[in-house]
Amino acid sequence: MKLQNKFTRKTAAILSVLMVAGAVSACSPEVGSEEWCADLKEKPKGDWTANEAADFTKHCLF
C-alpha cells in the first residue's frame, strides 16, 4: 500500500510540473509573429539578447 501511495504522489507531482510548464510556455508569443515584434519594440534595446536582435532583424524588418 505504501509503495502504491508513493508512486501515485510521484506521478501526480510530475504531471503537475508538466502542466505548469506547458501553461507558462504557451503564454509567450511565437518568435517572428506580429505580437512578438511589437513586444520587442517596446523592450529597451539594451535588454535585447543577440538572438532577439538577429530574429528581430530577420522577421520584423525584412
pTM summary value: 0.56
Is-contact 47 31, C-beta < 8 A? no
Q: Which residue has cell 510556455?
A: 25
For residues 25 and 17, give the distance between their C-alpha atoms in angstroms, rounded to a whole number: 12
pLDDT tens track, the chain, 62 positions: 566 777 788 877 787 777 766 666 668 899 999 999 999 999 999 999 999 999 999 999 97
The beta strand positions in 1-62, using DSSP E, are: none
The DSSP result for 25-38, as a single string, is HTTSPPTTSHHHHH
Is-contact 45 26, C-beta < 8 A? no
